[in-house]
Amino acid sequence: MAKEKGRKLIAQNKKARHDYAIIDTYECGLVLTGTEVKSMRQGRASLVDGFVSVESGEAWLYNVHVPEYSQGTWTNHSARRKRKLLMHREEIDKLERKADEAGHTIVPLSLYFKDGRAKVEIALAKGKKEYDKRQTMREKQDTRETNRAISAIRRKQRGTV
């Protein structure tokens, strides 16, 4: 069997980028059972309610939903169990210090396979206020409208030349 190359996305947490201002991102490995890996290979997972907590020097991923493997037997995993993250000690300590500051949290952004190994991208984030979310949406809309106007002008220019 050929070794997988590249990055295969399983799940993304788009809501996290909307609700939080991303300060720093980290790539972590995951400690998984066999049925969890098989379920993820089918592209089944959800990061919506997920968060990361540091307990006694170890990083743990909570509330990430990986459905039970359909062909699994009694060895099947529970869907929302906590999963250990594989990170360097310095990264964990740095993340824990920053997360203890008021308003900061650690959220998962994406779950993917990188060269056949399950990885999760986590981010140190600060919660946005409601007006910040509206401002971000307004900026995105303005950028989209500007790009549309520019492309319309370019199309006109190509048509007349």
- Return all residues near 90 (Cβ < 8 A) that are at least 6 apart: none
Average pLDDT value for the chain = 81
The pLDDT tens digits for 121-155 are: 988 888 777 777 788 888 888 899 999 999 998 88
Handedness of CA 15, 17, 23, 24 (dihedral sign): positive
Q: Write the DSSP assignment of 1-25 as a string of letters.
A: -PPP-SEEEEEE-HHHHHHEEEEEE
